[in-house]
A and B are shown apart, each in its own frame.
Chain A
Protein backbone atom coordinates (compact mmCIF):
# COMPACT_ATOMS: atom_id res chain seq x y z
CA UNK A 1 0.00 0.00 0.00
CA UNK A 2 2.94 2.29 0.59
CA UNK A 3 3.80 2.27 -3.11
CA UNK A 4 0.71 4.28 -3.92
CA UNK A 5 1.67 7.92 -4.30
CA UNK A 6 -1.56 9.12 -5.80
CA UNK A 7 -3.83 10.29 -2.99
CA UNK A 8 -1.08 10.60 -0.41
CA UNK A 9 -0.36 13.74 1.53
CA UNK A 10 3.09 15.00 2.43
CA UNK A 11 3.09 17.60 5.21
CA UNK A 12 4.98 20.72 4.33
CA UNK A 13 4.96 24.46 4.65
CA UNK A 14 5.13 25.86 1.13
CA UNK A 15 2.81 28.45 -0.36
CA UNK A 16 1.01 25.61 -2.11
CA UNK A 17 0.45 23.83 1.20
CA UNK A 18 -1.04 26.94 2.73
CA UNK A 19 -3.38 27.70 -0.16
CA UNK A 20 -7.12 27.44 0.23
CA UNK A 21 -8.05 23.87 -0.78
CA UNK A 22 -10.97 25.17 -2.82
CA UNK A 23 -8.64 27.31 -4.90
CA UNK A 24 -6.27 24.38 -5.35
CA UNK A 25 -9.04 22.00 -6.34
CA UNK A 26 -10.63 24.34 -8.86
CA UNK A 27 -7.28 25.50 -10.26
CA UNK A 28 -6.07 21.91 -10.69
CA UNK A 29 -9.19 20.93 -12.58
CA UNK A 30 -8.97 24.05 -14.67
CA UNK A 31 -5.32 23.33 -15.42
CA UNK A 32 -6.13 19.80 -16.52
CA UNK A 33 -8.78 21.30 -18.78
CA UNK A 34 -6.47 23.77 -20.47
CA UNK A 35 -3.80 21.15 -21.10
CA UNK A 36 -5.97 20.07 -24.01
CA UNK A 37 -5.59 23.51 -25.58
CA UNK A 38 -1.94 22.87 -26.32
CA UNK A 39 -1.21 21.57 -29.79
CA UNK A 40 2.31 22.78 -30.45
CA UNK A 41 5.79 22.34 -29.01
CA UNK A 42 6.06 25.86 -27.54
CA UNK A 43 2.69 25.42 -25.81
CA UNK A 44 3.84 22.18 -24.21
CA UNK A 45 7.11 23.79 -23.25
CA UNK A 46 5.17 26.53 -21.49
CA UNK A 47 3.01 23.97 -19.65
CA UNK A 48 6.02 21.95 -18.57
CA UNK A 49 7.78 25.08 -17.40
CA UNK A 50 4.73 26.07 -15.39
CA UNK A 51 4.32 22.63 -13.80
CA UNK A 52 8.01 22.42 -12.93
CA UNK A 53 7.82 25.85 -11.33
CA UNK A 54 4.90 24.68 -9.20
CA UNK A 55 6.76 21.53 -8.17
CA UNK A 56 9.73 23.67 -7.22
CA UNK A 57 7.50 25.94 -5.13
CA UNK A 58 5.95 22.93 -3.37
CA UNK A 59 9.43 21.86 -2.16
CA UNK A 60 8.54 18.22 -2.76
CA UNK A 61 11.12 15.98 -4.38
CA UNK A 62 10.61 15.28 -8.07
CA UNK A 63 11.01 11.55 -7.40
CA UNK A 64 7.57 11.51 -5.73
CA UNK A 65 6.00 12.72 -8.95
CA UNK A 66 7.90 10.20 -11.04
CA UNK A 67 6.69 7.47 -8.71
CA UNK A 68 3.17 8.76 -9.29
CA UNK A 69 3.58 8.14 -13.01
CA UNK A 70 4.90 4.60 -12.57
CA UNK A 71 1.62 2.72 -11.93
CA UNK A 72 0.11 4.27 -15.05
CA UNK A 73 3.15 3.65 -17.25
CA UNK A 74 1.63 0.73 -19.15
CA UNK A 75 -1.54 2.63 -19.90
CA UNK A 76 0.51 5.54 -21.18
CA UNK A 77 2.72 3.36 -23.37
CA UNK A 78 -0.28 1.52 -24.78
CA UNK A 79 -2.09 4.74 -25.71
CA UNK A 80 1.04 6.33 -27.13
CA UNK A 81 1.83 3.31 -29.29
CA UNK A 82 -1.74 3.16 -30.50
CA UNK A 83 -1.51 6.81 -31.51
CA UNK A 84 1.84 6.36 -33.24
CA UNK A 85 0.87 3.39 -35.36
CA UNK A 86 -2.71 4.24 -36.25
CA UNK A 87 -2.62 7.95 -37.02
CA UNK A 88 -2.17 8.76 -40.67
CA UNK A 89 -1.05 11.98 -42.33
CA UNK A 90 2.08 13.89 -43.17
CA UNK A 91 5.27 12.25 -44.33
CA UNK A 92 5.16 8.46 -44.22
CA UNK A 93 8.38 7.01 -42.82
CA UNK A 94 7.44 3.37 -42.70
CA UNK A 95 4.45 1.23 -43.59
CA UNK A 96 3.47 -2.37 -43.05
CA UNK A 97 -0.11 -3.44 -43.75
CA UNK A 98 -2.42 -1.33 -41.64
CA UNK A 99 0.44 -0.14 -39.42
CA UNK A 100 2.19 3.02 -40.44
CA UNK A 101 4.74 5.35 -38.96
CA UNK A 102 3.91 8.89 -40.00
CA UNK A 103 4.92 12.37 -38.99
CA UNK A 104 1.51 13.15 -37.54
CA UNK A 105 1.46 9.84 -35.73
CA UNK A 106 4.77 10.49 -34.00
CA UNK A 107 3.72 14.01 -33.14
CA UNK A 108 0.37 12.87 -31.71
CA UNK A 109 2.10 10.17 -29.70
CA UNK A 110 4.47 12.67 -28.17
CA UNK A 111 1.63 15.06 -27.35
CA UNK A 112 -0.43 12.34 -25.70
CA UNK A 113 2.57 11.28 -23.67
CA UNK A 114 3.12 14.82 -22.44
CA UNK A 115 -0.55 15.30 -21.63
CA UNK A 116 -0.56 12.17 -19.50
CA UNK A 117 2.54 13.21 -17.61
CA UNK A 118 1.23 16.73 -17.04
CA UNK A 119 -2.15 15.51 -15.77
CA UNK A 120 -0.54 13.02 -13.41
CA UNK A 121 1.97 15.60 -12.14
CA UNK A 122 -0.76 18.10 -11.45
CA UNK A 123 -3.15 15.71 -9.69
CA UNK A 124 -0.25 14.32 -7.67
CA UNK A 125 0.72 17.85 -6.74
CA UNK A 126 -2.83 18.52 -5.56
CA UNK A 127 -3.00 15.45 -3.30
CA UNK A 128 0.58 15.74 -2.06
CA UNK A 129 0.05 19.29 -0.84
CA UNK A 130 -3.52 18.99 0.47
CA UNK A 131 -4.61 16.86 3.44
CA UNK A 132 -7.60 14.66 2.51
CA UNK A 133 -9.69 16.39 5.14
CA UNK A 134 -9.18 19.80 3.55
CA UNK A 135 -10.14 18.29 0.21
CA UNK A 136 -13.37 17.06 1.78
CA UNK A 137 -14.00 20.55 3.15
CA UNK A 138 -13.30 22.02 -0.25
CA UNK A 139 -15.70 19.63 -1.96
CA UNK A 140 -18.40 20.52 0.55
CA UNK A 141 -17.87 24.21 -0.02
CA UNK A 142 -17.88 23.84 -3.80
CA UNK A 143 -21.02 21.67 -3.75
CA UNK A 144 -22.91 24.16 -1.57
CA UNK A 145 -24.82 25.79 -4.46
CA UNK A 146 -26.36 22.39 -5.14
CA UNK A 147 -28.41 22.78 -1.96
CA UNK A 148 -30.90 24.69 -4.09
CA UNK A 149 -31.83 21.46 -5.86
CA UNK A 150 -32.03 19.66 -2.47
CA UNK A 151 -28.73 17.88 -2.85
CA UNK A 152 -27.70 16.73 0.68
CA UNK A 153 -24.42 18.64 0.83
CA UNK A 154 -23.92 18.36 4.62
CA UNK A 155 -24.58 14.65 4.61
CA UNK A 156 -22.22 13.99 1.71
CA UNK A 157 -19.53 16.05 3.43
CA UNK A 158 -20.00 14.22 6.73
CA UNK A 159 -19.91 10.89 4.93
CA UNK A 160 -16.72 11.87 3.17
CA UNK A 161 -15.00 13.04 6.34
CA UNK A 162 -16.05 9.96 8.35
CA UNK A 163 -14.96 7.70 5.50
CA UNK A 164 -11.56 9.39 5.36
CA UNK A 165 -11.20 9.21 9.13
CA UNK A 166 -11.92 5.47 9.16
CA UNK A 167 -9.59 4.52 6.30
CA UNK A 168 -6.50 4.01 8.53
CA UNK A 169 -8.61 2.34 11.25
CA UNK A 170 -10.01 -0.16 8.78
CA UNK A 171 -6.58 -0.72 7.21
CA UNK A 172 -5.22 -1.61 10.64
CA UNK A 173 -8.11 -3.92 11.21
CA UNK A 174 -7.60 -5.62 7.84
CA UNK A 175 -3.97 -6.30 8.72
CA UNK A 176 -5.03 -7.66 12.09
CA UNK A 177 -7.65 -9.96 10.58
CA UNK A 178 -5.18 -11.16 7.93
CA UNK A 179 -2.63 -11.98 10.59
CA UNK A 180 -5.25 -13.68 12.74
CA UNK A 181 -6.34 -15.82 9.79
CA UNK A 182 -2.73 -16.56 8.86
CA UNK A 183 -2.14 -17.75 12.40
CA UNK A 184 -5.02 -20.17 11.81
CA UNK A 185 -3.44 -21.46 8.61
CA UNK A 186 -5.00 -19.40 5.81
CA UNK A 187 -2.61 -18.83 2.88
CA UNK A 188 -3.01 -15.49 1.14
CA UNK A 189 -1.72 -14.88 -2.35
CA UNK A 190 -0.98 -18.53 -3.10
CA UNK A 191 -2.50 -21.19 -5.31
CA UNK A 192 -4.71 -20.73 -8.35
CA UNK A 193 -6.75 -17.64 -9.04
CA UNK A 194 -9.88 -19.32 -7.67
CA UNK A 195 -8.10 -20.37 -4.49
CA UNK A 196 -6.72 -16.88 -4.02
CA UNK A 197 -10.17 -15.41 -4.41
CA UNK A 198 -11.55 -17.88 -1.91
CA UNK A 199 -8.91 -16.98 0.64
CA UNK A 200 -10.17 -13.38 0.58
CA UNK A 201 -13.48 -14.44 2.14
CA UNK A 202 -12.10 -14.95 5.67
CA UNK A 203 -10.90 -11.33 5.57
CA UNK A 204 -13.91 -9.83 3.91
CA UNK A 205 -16.72 -11.24 6.05
CA UNK A 206 -15.23 -10.32 9.46
CA UNK A 207 -14.35 -6.88 8.12
CA UNK A 208 -17.89 -6.44 6.89
CA UNK A 209 -19.44 -7.49 10.18
CA UNK A 210 -17.13 -5.32 12.24
CA UNK A 211 -17.90 -2.36 9.98
CA UNK A 212 -21.56 -2.77 10.82
CA UNK A 213 -20.75 -2.85 14.51
CA UNK A 214 -18.61 0.23 14.14
CA UNK A 215 -21.33 2.04 12.24
CA UNK A 216 -23.83 1.18 14.95
CA UNK A 217 -21.54 2.37 17.74
CA UNK A 218 -20.65 5.53 15.87
CA UNK A 219 -24.29 6.37 15.18
CA UNK A 220 -25.12 5.90 18.87
CA UNK A 221 -22.19 8.08 19.93
CA UNK A 222 -23.13 10.77 17.42
CA UNK A 223 -26.73 10.81 18.56
CA UNK A 224 -25.69 10.94 22.19
CA UNK A 225 -23.66 14.03 21.36
CA UNK A 226 -26.68 15.73 19.88
CA UNK A 227 -26.30 15.11 16.14
CA UNK A 228 -29.66 15.84 14.52
CA UNK A 229 -28.66 16.12 10.89
CA UNK A 230 -27.01 18.89 8.93
CA UNK A 231 -29.52 21.67 9.65
CA UNK A 232 -28.72 24.13 12.40
CA UNK A 233 -25.10 23.07 12.78
CA UNK A 234 -22.28 25.53 13.04
CA UNK A 235 -18.87 24.79 11.62
CA UNK A 236 -15.58 24.53 13.45
CA UNK A 237 -13.48 24.45 10.32
CA UNK A 238 -13.70 27.51 8.16
CA UNK A 239 -11.89 27.95 4.86
CA UNK A 240 -10.28 31.30 4.31
CA UNK A 241 -9.79 32.75 0.86
CA UNK A 242 -6.61 34.82 0.72
CA UNK A 243 -4.75 36.93 -1.76
CA UNK A 244 -2.52 34.03 -2.81
CA UNK A 245 -5.63 32.11 -3.86
CA UNK A 246 -6.79 34.92 -6.08
CA UNK A 247 -3.23 35.12 -7.43
CA UNK A 248 -3.39 31.46 -8.38
CA UNK A 249 -6.37 32.22 -10.58
CA UNK A 250 -4.60 35.19 -12.12
CA UNK A 251 -1.68 32.87 -12.92
CA UNK A 252 -4.13 30.43 -14.51
CA UNK A 253 -5.64 33.20 -16.63
CA UNK A 254 -2.22 34.35 -17.80
CA UNK A 255 -1.32 30.77 -18.63
CA UNK A 256 -4.52 30.36 -20.63
CA UNK A 257 -3.79 33.48 -22.67
CA UNK A 258 -0.25 32.24 -23.28
CA UNK A 259 -1.54 28.87 -24.42
CA UNK A 260 -4.08 30.39 -26.78
CA UNK A 261 -1.32 32.47 -28.39
CA UNK A 262 1.12 29.56 -28.65
CA UNK A 263 -1.31 26.84 -29.69
Chain B
Protein backbone atom coordinates (compact mmCIF):
# COMPACT_ATOMS: atom_id res chain seq x y z
CA UNK B 1 0.00 0.00 0.00
CA UNK B 2 1.13 3.51 -0.74
CA UNK B 3 2.39 5.13 2.45
CA UNK B 4 0.93 8.43 1.51
CA UNK B 5 -2.67 7.29 1.11
CA UNK B 6 -4.62 8.01 4.25
CA UNK B 7 -8.03 6.96 3.00
CA UNK B 8 -8.49 3.99 0.70
CA UNK B 9 -11.99 3.08 -0.34
CA UNK B 10 -12.70 0.16 -2.65
CA UNK B 11 -15.96 -1.04 -4.19
CA UNK B 12 -18.28 0.43 -1.59
CA UNK B 13 -21.92 -0.58 -1.77
CA UNK B 14 -24.73 0.62 0.41
CA UNK B 15 -28.46 0.46 0.14
CA UNK B 16 -30.84 2.24 2.48
CA UNK B 17 -33.75 0.13 3.61
CA UNK B 18 -36.76 0.62 1.32
CA UNK B 19 -34.72 2.53 -1.24
CA UNK B 20 -35.16 1.75 -4.91
CA UNK B 21 -31.48 2.00 -5.78
CA UNK B 22 -28.07 1.77 -4.23
CA UNK B 23 -26.93 4.88 -2.37
CA UNK B 24 -23.35 3.88 -3.00
CA UNK B 25 -22.65 1.75 -6.02
CA UNK B 26 -19.17 0.32 -6.35
CA UNK B 27 -17.54 3.51 -5.14
CA UNK B 28 -13.75 3.52 -5.08
CA UNK B 29 -11.55 6.46 -4.23
CA UNK B 30 -8.30 7.13 -2.42
CA UNK B 31 -7.17 10.27 -0.67
CA UNK B 32 -3.62 11.30 0.13
CA UNK B 33 -2.50 12.54 3.52
CA UNK B 34 -2.58 16.31 3.80
CA UNK B 35 -4.83 16.71 0.80
CA UNK B 36 -7.98 18.86 0.69
CA UNK B 37 -10.57 17.00 -1.27
CA UNK B 38 -14.01 18.31 -2.11
CA UNK B 39 -16.75 15.81 -2.84
CA UNK B 40 -19.48 17.31 -4.98
CA UNK B 41 -22.62 15.94 -6.49
CA UNK B 42 -26.32 16.80 -6.63
CA UNK B 43 -28.83 15.80 -3.94
CA UNK B 44 -29.04 12.03 -3.61
CA UNK B 45 -25.71 11.36 -5.27
CA UNK B 46 -24.47 9.57 -2.14
CA UNK B 47 -22.15 12.23 -0.72
CA UNK B 48 -23.39 12.11 2.87
CA UNK B 49 -23.73 8.33 2.84
CA UNK B 50 -20.11 8.16 1.77
CA UNK B 51 -19.02 10.49 4.58
CA UNK B 52 -20.90 8.50 7.21
CA UNK B 53 -19.54 5.20 5.95
CA UNK B 54 -15.95 6.38 6.40
CA UNK B 55 -16.01 6.21 10.19
CA UNK B 56 -18.33 3.28 10.49
CA UNK B 57 -21.57 5.14 11.18
CA UNK B 58 -23.20 2.96 8.52
CA UNK B 59 -22.93 -0.79 8.10
CA UNK B 60 -21.58 -1.47 4.66
CA UNK B 61 -22.97 -4.24 2.55
CA UNK B 62 -19.75 -4.78 0.66
CA UNK B 63 -16.45 -3.14 -0.08
CA UNK B 64 -13.59 -2.11 2.13
CA UNK B 65 -12.38 1.06 3.80
CA UNK B 66 -8.84 1.52 5.06
CA UNK B 67 -8.04 4.56 7.15
CA UNK B 68 -4.39 5.27 7.83
CA UNK B 69 -3.51 1.61 7.35
CA UNK B 70 -6.37 0.34 9.54
CA UNK B 71 -9.08 -1.65 7.78
CA UNK B 72 -12.52 -0.59 9.06
CA UNK B 73 -14.16 -3.35 11.08
CA UNK B 74 -16.01 -3.85 14.36
CA UNK B 75 -12.70 -4.08 16.22
CA UNK B 76 -11.07 -1.02 14.72
CA UNK B 77 -14.07 1.29 14.45
CA UNK B 78 -13.33 3.22 17.67
CA UNK B 79 -9.68 3.70 16.76
CA UNK B 80 -10.74 4.97 13.37
CA UNK B 81 -13.25 7.37 14.89
CA UNK B 82 -10.40 8.89 16.86
CA UNK B 83 -8.55 9.59 13.65
CA UNK B 84 -11.54 11.20 11.99
CA UNK B 85 -13.32 14.32 13.12
CA UNK B 86 -16.68 15.09 11.57
CA UNK B 87 -18.62 18.33 11.42
CA UNK B 88 -22.22 17.87 10.37
CA UNK B 89 -24.71 20.09 8.67
CA UNK B 90 -27.09 21.20 11.39
CA UNK B 91 -25.32 23.30 14.04
CA UNK B 92 -28.05 22.77 16.61
CA UNK B 93 -28.36 19.01 16.38
CA UNK B 94 -24.70 18.22 16.94
CA UNK B 95 -24.30 20.41 20.01
CA UNK B 96 -24.18 17.90 22.86
CA UNK B 97 -22.86 19.95 25.75
CA UNK B 98 -24.84 22.39 27.84
CA UNK B 99 -22.33 25.19 27.22
CA UNK B 100 -19.56 25.88 24.72
CA UNK B 101 -16.78 24.48 26.91
CA UNK B 102 -18.80 21.37 27.76
CA UNK B 103 -19.42 20.69 24.12
CA UNK B 104 -15.78 21.09 23.17
CA UNK B 105 -14.83 18.76 26.04
CA UNK B 106 -17.35 16.08 25.08
CA UNK B 107 -15.08 14.19 22.67
CA UNK B 108 -12.19 14.38 25.13
CA UNK B 109 -14.36 13.04 27.94
CA UNK B 110 -15.22 10.08 25.72
CA UNK B 111 -11.54 9.32 25.31
CA UNK B 112 -11.07 9.42 29.06
CA UNK B 113 -8.49 12.19 28.88
CA UNK B 114 -7.19 13.50 32.18
CA UNK B 115 -8.84 16.69 33.43
CA UNK B 116 -5.98 19.20 33.45
CA UNK B 117 -4.97 18.12 29.95
CA UNK B 118 -8.63 18.42 28.94
CA UNK B 119 -8.87 21.99 30.25
CA UNK B 120 -5.71 22.95 28.40
CA UNK B 121 -6.92 21.47 25.12
CA UNK B 122 -10.43 22.92 25.44
CA UNK B 123 -9.00 26.38 26.06
CA UNK B 124 -6.60 26.06 23.12
CA UNK B 125 -9.32 24.82 20.78
CA UNK B 126 -11.76 27.53 21.78
CA UNK B 127 -9.08 30.21 21.30
CA UNK B 128 -8.31 28.70 17.93
CA UNK B 129 -11.79 29.27 16.57
CA UNK B 130 -12.06 32.69 18.21
CA UNK B 131 -14.80 31.81 20.69
CA UNK B 132 -12.86 32.62 23.85
CA UNK B 133 -15.31 35.14 25.22
CA UNK B 134 -18.20 32.71 24.73
CA UNK B 135 -16.77 29.82 26.79
CA UNK B 136 -19.69 29.62 29.20
CA UNK B 137 -22.46 30.49 26.75
CA UNK B 138 -25.36 28.12 26.14
CA UNK B 139 -26.05 27.03 22.54
CA UNK B 140 -29.37 28.86 22.49
CA UNK B 141 -27.50 32.15 22.80
CA UNK B 142 -25.14 31.52 19.87
CA UNK B 143 -25.59 32.10 16.16
CA UNK B 144 -25.42 29.28 13.62
CA UNK B 145 -21.89 30.20 12.55
CA UNK B 146 -20.74 30.36 16.15
CA UNK B 147 -22.23 26.96 16.89
CA UNK B 148 -20.48 25.53 13.88
CA UNK B 149 -17.20 27.02 15.09
CA UNK B 150 -17.79 25.34 18.44
CA UNK B 151 -18.36 22.04 16.62
CA UNK B 152 -15.05 22.65 14.87
CA UNK B 153 -13.34 23.42 18.19
CA UNK B 154 -14.64 20.11 19.54
CA UNK B 155 -12.90 18.36 16.64
CA UNK B 156 -9.70 20.42 17.00
CA UNK B 157 -9.47 19.45 20.66
CA UNK B 158 -9.54 15.79 19.66
CA UNK B 159 -6.64 16.40 17.25
CA UNK B 160 -7.72 14.03 14.48
CA UNK B 161 -5.71 13.38 11.34
CA UNK B 162 -8.70 13.65 9.08
CA UNK B 163 -11.44 16.27 9.12
CA UNK B 164 -14.68 15.53 7.33
CA UNK B 165 -17.05 18.41 6.70
CA UNK B 166 -20.46 17.00 5.88
CA UNK B 167 -22.07 20.09 4.35
CA UNK B 168 -20.87 21.90 7.44
CA UNK B 169 -21.43 25.35 5.98
CA UNK B 170 -24.70 24.78 4.17
CA UNK B 171 -26.96 26.20 6.90
CA UNK B 172 -24.84 29.28 7.53
CA UNK B 173 -25.10 32.83 6.23
CA UNK B 174 -22.32 33.99 3.85
CA UNK B 175 -20.38 35.64 6.67
CA UNK B 176 -20.53 32.63 8.96
CA UNK B 177 -19.55 30.39 6.07
CA UNK B 178 -16.56 32.57 5.27
CA UNK B 179 -15.42 32.55 8.90
CA UNK B 180 -15.71 28.80 9.31
CA UNK B 181 -13.85 28.13 6.05
CA UNK B 182 -11.06 30.54 6.93
CA UNK B 183 -10.59 28.84 10.28
CA UNK B 184 -10.34 25.47 8.56
CA UNK B 185 -7.87 26.82 6.03
CA UNK B 186 -5.45 28.16 8.64
CA UNK B 187 -5.90 25.03 10.71
CA UNK B 188 -5.04 22.86 7.75
CA UNK B 189 -1.93 24.88 7.00
CA UNK B 190 -0.67 24.51 10.55
CA UNK B 191 -1.42 20.88 11.24
CA UNK B 192 -1.38 19.50 7.71
CA UNK B 193 -4.49 17.46 8.34
CA UNK B 194 -6.44 15.81 5.58
CA UNK B 195 -9.68 17.60 4.84
CA UNK B 196 -12.62 15.99 3.11
CA UNK B 197 -15.34 18.47 2.44
CA UNK B 198 -18.69 17.38 1.19
CA UNK B 199 -20.36 20.39 -0.24
CA UNK B 200 -22.81 22.13 -2.49
CA UNK B 201 -20.93 25.34 -2.16
CA UNK B 202 -18.93 25.80 -5.31
CA UNK B 203 -16.54 28.36 -3.82
CA UNK B 204 -15.67 25.91 -1.09
CA UNK B 205 -14.98 23.27 -3.74
CA UNK B 206 -12.88 25.71 -5.76
CA UNK B 207 -10.42 26.07 -2.90
CA UNK B 208 -9.77 22.31 -2.71
CA UNK B 209 -6.71 20.49 -4.07
CA UNK B 210 -8.87 17.96 -5.80
CA UNK B 211 -12.55 17.58 -6.59
CA UNK B 212 -14.31 14.24 -6.69
CA UNK B 213 -17.62 14.23 -8.50
CA UNK B 214 -20.27 11.74 -7.46
CA UNK B 215 -23.38 10.71 -9.30
CA UNK B 216 -25.72 7.82 -8.49
CA UNK B 217 -23.33 6.56 -5.83
CA UNK B 218 -20.34 6.39 -8.11
CA UNK B 219 -17.29 8.51 -8.78
CA UNK B 220 -17.89 9.88 -12.24
CA UNK B 221 -14.92 12.17 -12.43
CA UNK B 222 -12.11 13.63 -10.40
CA UNK B 223 -9.43 16.20 -10.92
CA UNK B 224 -8.17 19.59 -9.90
CA UNK B 225 -10.74 22.38 -9.64
CA UNK B 226 -9.36 23.81 -12.88
CA UNK B 227 -10.03 20.54 -14.71
CA UNK B 228 -13.48 20.02 -13.24
CA UNK B 229 -14.76 23.57 -13.63
CA UNK B 230 -13.65 23.68 -17.26
CA UNK B 231 -16.60 21.34 -17.93
CA UNK B 232 -18.91 24.31 -17.63
CA UNK B 233 -22.20 23.19 -19.11
CA UNK B 234 -21.75 19.56 -18.08
CA UNK B 235 -21.66 20.57 -14.45
CA UNK B 236 -24.89 22.45 -14.85
CA UNK B 237 -26.45 19.39 -16.50
CA UNK B 238 -25.48 17.34 -13.45
CA UNK B 239 -27.39 19.77 -11.27
CA UNK B 240 -24.26 21.49 -9.99
CA UNK B 241 -23.20 25.06 -10.14
CA UNK B 242 -20.08 26.67 -11.64
CA UNK B 243 -17.94 29.36 -10.02
CA UNK B 244 -18.73 32.98 -10.76
CA UNK B 245 -15.87 33.62 -13.30
CA UNK B 246 -17.10 30.61 -15.29
CA UNK B 247 -20.60 32.07 -15.39
CA UNK B 248 -19.17 35.37 -16.55
CA UNK B 249 -17.16 33.55 -19.19
CA UNK B 250 -20.24 31.79 -20.53
CA UNK B 251 -22.18 35.07 -20.65
CA UNK B 252 -19.32 36.89 -22.44
CA UNK B 253 -18.81 34.05 -24.91
CA UNK B 254 -22.49 34.38 -25.80
CA UNK B 255 -21.87 38.04 -26.58
CA UNK B 256 -18.98 37.10 -28.86
CA UNK B 257 -16.10 38.08 -26.59
CA UNK B 258 -13.18 35.67 -27.14
CA UNK B 259 -12.50 33.60 -24.04
CA UNK B 260 -9.96 30.86 -23.28
CA UNK B 261 -11.40 27.36 -22.95
CA UNK B 262 -9.73 26.46 -19.66
CA UNK B 263 -10.91 27.34 -16.17
CA UNK B 264 -10.40 30.89 -14.97
CA UNK B 265 -10.03 31.94 -11.37
CA UNK B 266 -11.13 35.45 -10.45
CA UNK B 267 -7.55 36.74 -10.86
CA UNK B 268 -7.07 35.09 -14.20
CA UNK B 269 -10.38 36.44 -15.39
CA UNK B 270 -9.33 39.95 -14.40
CA UNK B 271 -5.98 39.44 -16.18
CA UNK B 272 -7.68 38.14 -19.27
CA UNK B 273 -10.12 41.02 -19.40
CA UNK B 274 -7.54 43.75 -19.07
CA UNK B 275 -5.23 42.13 -21.69
CA UNK B 276 -8.22 41.92 -23.98
CA UNK B 277 -9.08 45.53 -23.28
CA UNK B 278 -5.57 46.82 -24.01
CA UNK B 279 -5.55 44.94 -27.34
CA UNK B 280 -8.74 46.60 -28.49
Known A234-B115, A236-B108: A221·B52 in contact at CB below 8 Å: no
Among B99, B107, B111, B115, contact of A235 (Cβ-Cβ < 8 Å): B115
A72 within 8 A of B: no
A68 to B183, CA, bound (A): 46
Q: Cβ of B112 < 8 Å from any Cβ of A?
A: yes
For the complex formed, measure the closest distance between the CB of B16 and the CB atoms of chain A, giving whole angstroms: 13
B94 / chain A contacts, CB cutoff of 8 Å: 217-218, 221
Contact flags B62-89 to A (C-beta < 8 A → 1, else 0): 0000000000000000100110111010
Q: Chain A, 205-243, contact with B by CB distance < 8 Å: what is the 0/1 string?
A: 000000001100110111111111000111111100000
Interface residue from A172, A217, A225 paired with B90 (Cβ < 8 Å): A217
Q: Is the CB of B110 within 8 A of A165?
A: no
Complex: how many Å from CA A213 to CA B114?
Answer: 33
Residues 107 to 147 of chain B near chain A (Cβ within 8 Å)? 107-115, 118-119, 122, 138-140
Across the interface, name the chain B residue whose C-beta is closest to A136: B98
| A250 sits at the interface (CB 8 A) | no
Cβ of A225 and Cβ of B98 under 8 Å apart?
no
Contact check, B82 vs A220: say whether CB atoms are below 8 A apart. Answer: no
Q: How many Å lie between the Cα of A233 and that of B85 in the bound state?
A: 18
Q: State whether B111 touches A226 (Cβ < 8 A).
A: yes
Contact residues of A: prevailing secondary structure = helix
Tell yes or no: A97 within 8 A of B by CB: no
Assembly CA distance A217 to B171 (angstroms): 15
**Looking at the complex, which one of B78, B88, B98, B122 makes contact with A221 (CB distance below 8 Å)?**
B88
B101: contacting residue among A218, A222, A236, CB under 8 A = A236
Verify A162–B112 contact, CB threshold 8 A.
Answer: no
B32-53 contacts to A (CB < 8 Å) = 52
- The residue in B52, B82, B98, B112 that gathers the most chain A C-beta atoms within 10 A of its C-beta is B98
Most chain-B CB neighbours within 10 Å: which of A168, A225, A233? A225
Task: Assess whether B105 is in contact with A236, with CB atoms less than 8 Å apart.
Answer: yes
A223 to chain B, nearest CB (A): 6
Q: Which residues of A contact B154 (CB under 8 A)?
A: 225
Is the CB–CB distance between A165 and B57 below 8 Å?
A: no
Is B102's CB within 8 Å of the partner chain A? Answer: yes
A218 to B97, CA, bound (A): 11
Whether B109 contacts A236 by the Cβ 8 Å rule is: yes
Task: Give the distance in Å from the alpha carbon of A214 to the alpha carbon of B111 in the complex.
Answer: 24
Q: Is there a chain A Cβ closer than 8 Å to B229's Cβ?
A: no
Give Cα A227 to B77, complex, Å: 12
Closest B residue, CB atoms, query A223: B57
Quote the shortest CB–CB distance from A210 to chain B (angstroms).
10
A133 lies within 8 A of chain B by Cβ = yes
CB distance from B136 to the nearest CB of A (A): 10
| Least CB distance, A230 to chain B, in whole angstroms | 10
Give the contacting residue for B95; candidates A165, A224, A234; CB below 8 A. Answer: A165
Find chain A residues with CB under 8 A from B158 CB: 225-226
Question: Which residues of chain A come closer than 8 Å to B111, judged between CB atoms?
Answer: 226, 234
Per the 8 Å Cβ criterion, residues 93-131 of A in contact with B are none
How many chain A residues touch the partner (CB < 8 A)? Answer: 29
Contacts of A238 in B (CB 8 A): 115
Chain A min CB distance to B79 (Å): 10
B52 to chain A minimum Cβ distance, whole angstroms, is 7
- Which one of A168, A217, A234, A235 has the greatest number of beta carbons of chain B within 10 Å? A234
Chain B residues with CB under 8 Å of A237's CB are: 102
Whether a CB of chain A sits under 8 angstroms from the CB of B55 is yes
The one of A133, A169, A218, A220 that contacts B99, using a Cβ cutoff of 8 Å: A133
- Asked whether A222 and B102 contact (CB < 8 A) given A228-B78, A233-B110, the answer is no
Q: In the complex, which residues of chain B have a beta carbon less than 8 angstroms from the beta carbon of A56? A: none
Whether the Cβ atoms of A228 and B101 lie closer than 8 Å is no
Q: Is the CB of A226 within 8 A of B98?
A: no
Q: How far is the CA of A31 from the CA of B88 in the complex (A)?
A: 47
- Nearest B residue to A133 via CB reads B98
Q: If A218-B93, A220-B57 touch, does A236 touch B122 (CB 8 Å cutoff)?
A: yes
Q: Does B179 contact A (CB under 8 A)?
A: no
Q: Are A234 and B114 in contact (CB under 8 A)?
A: yes
Q: Does A164 contact B (CB under 8 A)?
A: yes
Cα–Cα, bound, A172→B113 (Å): 35
Q: With A221-B94, A234-B115 given, name 12 new contacts (CB 8 A).
A: A165-B98, A217-B93, A218-B94, A221-B86, A222-B106, A223-B57, A224-B84, A225-B81, A225-B158, A235-B115, A237-B102, A238-B115
Q: Which A residues contact B (CB, under 8 angstroms)?
A: 133, 136, 161-162, 164-165, 168-169, 172, 213-214, 217-218, 220-228, 232-238
* Cβ contacts A to B, 9 pairs, < 8 Å: A162-B96, A165-B98, A168-B138, A213-B93, A223-B81, A224-B88, A234-B113, A235-B115, A236-B109
Chain B residues packing against A (C-beta within 8 Å): 52, 55, 57, 78, 81-82, 84-86, 88, 90, 92-99, 101-102, 105-115, 118-119, 122, 138-140, 154-155, 158
Shortest Cβ-Cβ A-B pairs, 8 listed:
A221-B94, A217-B93, A168-B140, A236-B105, A226-B110, A225-B107, A224-B86, A133-B98
